Amino acid sequence: MAKAAVFLDRDDTLIENVPYLGDPTQVQLLPGAKEAITRLHQAGLLLIVVSNQSGVGRGLISKAQVRSVDAKMEELLGSKGIITAFSHCYAAPGDPYDERRKPSPLMLQEAALEHGLSLNDSFMVGNRLSDIQSGHAAGCRTIILKLRIEPGDEKACAELATFSAKDWPAASAWILKSKESPL
Protein backbone atom coordinates (compact mmCIF):
# COMPACT_ATOMS: atom_id res chain seq x y z
CA MET A 1 0.00 0.00 0.00
CA ALA A 2 1.31 3.45 -0.93
CA LYS A 3 2.28 5.76 1.90
CA ALA A 4 1.55 9.42 2.50
CA ALA A 5 4.19 12.11 2.87
CA VAL A 6 4.48 15.74 3.76
CA PHE A 7 6.64 17.62 1.27
CA LEU A 8 8.23 20.65 2.87
CA ASP A 9 9.74 23.72 1.31
CA ARG A 10 12.89 24.74 3.21
CA ASP A 11 13.51 28.50 3.21
CA ASP A 12 10.83 30.58 4.97
CA THR A 13 8.89 27.37 5.65
CA LEU A 14 11.16 25.44 8.01
CA ILE A 15 14.00 27.95 8.44
CA GLU A 16 14.45 31.69 8.16
CA ASN A 17 15.37 32.65 4.62
CA VAL A 18 18.88 34.01 4.35
CA PRO A 19 19.50 34.57 0.62
CA TYR A 20 21.83 31.90 -0.78
CA LEU A 21 22.42 30.43 2.66
CA GLY A 22 25.64 28.45 2.79
CA ASP A 23 26.68 28.99 6.41
CA PRO A 24 25.08 26.51 8.82
CA THR A 25 25.69 28.85 11.77
CA GLN A 26 23.01 31.16 10.32
CA VAL A 27 20.27 28.50 10.31
CA GLN A 28 17.30 29.50 12.48
CA LEU A 29 14.08 27.50 12.68
CA LEU A 30 10.75 29.21 12.16
CA PRO A 31 8.46 29.27 15.20
CA GLY A 32 6.64 25.97 15.76
CA ALA A 33 8.54 24.06 13.06
CA LYS A 34 10.28 21.64 15.43
CA GLU A 35 7.09 20.68 17.27
CA ALA A 36 5.15 20.30 14.01
CA ILE A 37 7.79 18.07 12.42
CA THR A 38 7.82 15.89 15.52
CA ARG A 39 4.01 15.54 15.51
CA LEU A 40 3.88 14.71 11.80
CA HIS A 41 6.62 12.11 12.14
CA GLN A 42 4.93 10.52 15.17
CA ALA A 43 1.75 10.23 13.07
CA GLY A 44 3.63 8.06 10.58
CA LEU A 45 4.02 10.56 7.77
CA LEU A 46 7.21 10.61 5.72
CA LEU A 47 8.80 14.07 5.65
CA ILE A 48 10.61 15.15 2.50
CA VAL A 49 12.21 18.55 1.92
CA VAL A 50 11.94 19.91 -1.64
CA SER A 51 13.82 23.08 -2.45
CA ASN A 52 15.01 24.88 -5.59
CA GLN A 53 18.35 26.29 -4.30
CA SER A 54 19.09 28.41 -7.38
CA GLY A 55 22.20 29.82 -5.66
CA VAL A 56 24.08 26.66 -6.68
CA GLY A 57 23.19 27.15 -10.33
CA ARG A 58 24.22 30.77 -10.06
CA GLY A 59 27.59 29.85 -8.53
CA LEU A 60 26.84 31.67 -5.26
CA ILE A 61 26.91 28.58 -3.00
CA SER A 62 28.04 24.98 -3.43
CA LYS A 63 26.08 21.75 -3.09
CA ALA A 64 28.28 20.95 -0.08
CA GLN A 65 27.19 24.20 1.58
CA VAL A 66 23.52 23.35 0.90
CA ARG A 67 24.05 19.92 2.48
CA SER A 68 25.70 21.51 5.54
CA VAL A 69 22.73 23.86 5.97
CA ASP A 70 20.36 20.89 5.63
CA ALA A 71 22.33 18.98 8.27
CA LYS A 72 22.16 21.91 10.69
CA MET A 73 18.42 22.27 10.06
CA GLU A 74 17.92 18.57 10.81
CA GLU A 75 19.95 18.92 14.01
CA LEU A 76 17.86 21.89 15.18
CA LEU A 77 14.63 20.13 14.28
CA GLY A 78 15.77 17.12 16.28
CA SER A 79 14.95 15.19 13.14
CA LYS A 80 18.10 13.22 12.37
CA GLY A 81 16.65 10.22 10.60
CA ILE A 82 13.13 11.72 10.62
CA ILE A 83 13.49 13.70 7.39
CA THR A 84 13.30 10.94 4.79
CA ALA A 85 14.94 12.75 1.89
CA PHE A 86 16.04 16.07 0.54
CA SER A 87 15.31 16.89 -3.07
CA HIS A 88 17.02 19.94 -4.47
CA CYS A 89 16.92 21.46 -7.92
CA TYR A 90 20.16 23.35 -8.41
CA ALA A 91 19.37 25.05 -11.74
CA ALA A 92 19.37 28.82 -11.96
CA PRO A 93 16.20 30.62 -13.04
CA GLY A 94 16.04 30.74 -16.82
CA ASP A 95 18.36 27.74 -17.16
CA PRO A 96 17.09 25.60 -20.05
CA TYR A 97 17.69 22.49 -17.90
CA ASP A 98 15.56 23.58 -14.96
CA GLU A 99 12.48 21.41 -15.60
CA ARG A 100 12.59 20.10 -11.99
CA ARG A 101 12.30 23.56 -10.37
CA LYS A 102 9.09 24.30 -8.54
CA PRO A 103 6.42 25.04 -9.72
CA SER A 104 7.12 21.83 -11.65
CA PRO A 105 5.81 18.72 -9.84
CA LEU A 106 8.83 16.65 -10.92
CA MET A 107 10.70 16.64 -7.58
CA LEU A 108 7.55 15.42 -5.82
CA GLN A 109 6.84 12.82 -8.50
CA GLU A 110 10.41 11.51 -8.35
CA ALA A 111 10.21 11.23 -4.56
CA ALA A 112 6.86 9.41 -4.84
CA LEU A 113 8.39 6.80 -7.15
CA GLU A 114 11.50 6.40 -5.00
CA HIS A 115 9.58 6.01 -1.72
CA GLY A 116 6.37 4.31 -2.90
CA LEU A 117 4.16 7.29 -2.06
CA SER A 118 0.60 8.14 -2.92
CA LEU A 119 0.66 11.77 -4.03
CA ASN A 120 -3.14 12.00 -3.63
CA ASP A 121 -2.74 11.13 0.05
CA SER A 122 0.24 13.47 0.52
CA PHE A 123 0.66 17.14 1.38
CA MET A 124 2.87 20.01 0.21
CA VAL A 125 3.64 22.81 2.69
CA GLY A 126 5.27 26.03 1.51
CA ASN A 127 5.27 29.80 1.62
CA ARG A 128 5.33 30.64 -2.10
CA LEU A 129 2.95 30.31 -4.99
CA SER A 130 5.46 28.02 -6.74
CA ASP A 131 5.27 25.60 -3.76
CA ILE A 132 1.49 25.48 -3.97
CA GLN A 133 1.52 25.13 -7.76
CA SER A 134 4.02 22.26 -7.51
CA GLY A 135 1.97 20.36 -4.94
CA HIS A 136 -1.28 21.04 -6.80
CA ALA A 137 0.17 19.81 -10.11
CA ALA A 138 1.45 16.65 -8.37
CA GLY A 139 -2.02 15.93 -6.96
CA CYS A 140 -1.18 16.67 -3.31
CA ARG A 141 -3.23 18.62 -0.84
CA THR A 142 -1.48 21.95 -0.41
CA ILE A 143 -0.95 24.17 2.62
CA ILE A 144 0.20 27.76 2.32
CA LEU A 145 2.11 28.62 5.48
CA LYS A 146 1.47 32.29 6.02
CA LEU A 147 4.39 32.92 8.41
CA ARG A 148 6.61 34.31 5.62
CA ILE A 149 4.38 34.46 2.55
CA GLU A 150 5.78 36.37 -0.40
CA PRO A 151 4.19 39.80 -0.95
CA GLY A 152 1.79 39.57 -3.83
CA ASP A 153 1.37 35.78 -3.54
CA GLU A 154 -1.26 35.75 -0.80
CA LYS A 155 -4.39 36.04 -2.99
CA ALA A 156 -3.29 33.48 -5.59
CA CYS A 157 -2.10 31.08 -2.86
CA ALA A 158 -5.36 31.38 -0.96
CA GLU A 159 -7.29 30.56 -4.13
CA LEU A 160 -5.17 27.55 -5.11
CA ALA A 161 -4.13 26.08 -1.76
CA THR A 162 -6.25 23.43 -0.10
CA PHE A 163 -5.65 25.13 3.27
CA SER A 164 -4.17 28.41 4.50
CA ALA A 165 -2.34 28.10 7.82
CA LYS A 166 -1.40 31.09 9.93
CA ASP A 167 1.41 29.12 11.61
CA TRP A 168 2.94 25.68 12.07
CA PRO A 169 0.54 24.52 14.82
CA ALA A 170 -2.42 25.24 12.51
CA ALA A 171 -0.72 23.53 9.54
CA SER A 172 0.20 20.36 11.43
CA ALA A 173 -3.22 20.10 13.11
CA TRP A 174 -4.94 20.36 9.72
CA ILE A 175 -2.64 17.77 8.13
CA LEU A 176 -3.20 15.32 11.00
CA LYS A 177 -6.96 15.82 10.81
CA SER A 178 -6.98 15.46 7.02
CA LYS A 179 -4.58 12.54 6.61
CA GLU A 180 -7.28 9.98 7.21
CA SER A 181 -9.54 11.43 4.49
CA PRO A 182 -8.15 10.85 1.01
CA LEU A 183 -9.10 13.34 -1.70
Q: Which positions are catalytic?
A: 9, 11
> Could you tell me the CA-to-CA distances from 166 to 33, 49, 127, 145, 174 in Å, in that order?
13, 20, 11, 6, 11
User: Which helix (H) or strand (E) covers residue 174, if one does?
Assistant: helix 168-178
Query: Is residue 78 within 8 Å of 147, Cβ to Cβ?
Result: no
Helix (H/G/I), strand (E/B), else coil: 178: helix
Instruction: Compute the distance between CA of residue 13 and CA of residue 33 in angstroms, rounded to an integer.
Output: 8
Instruction: Compute the distance between CA of residue 102 and CA of residue 125 in angstroms, rounded to an integer.
Output: 13
Instruction: Compute the distance between CA of residue 179 and CA of residue 183 in angstroms, rounded to an integer.
Output: 9
Q: Which residues contact 64 (CB under 8 A, 6 or more apart)?
A: none
Q: Among 46, 53, 54, which residue's Cα sits nearest to residue 7?
A: 46
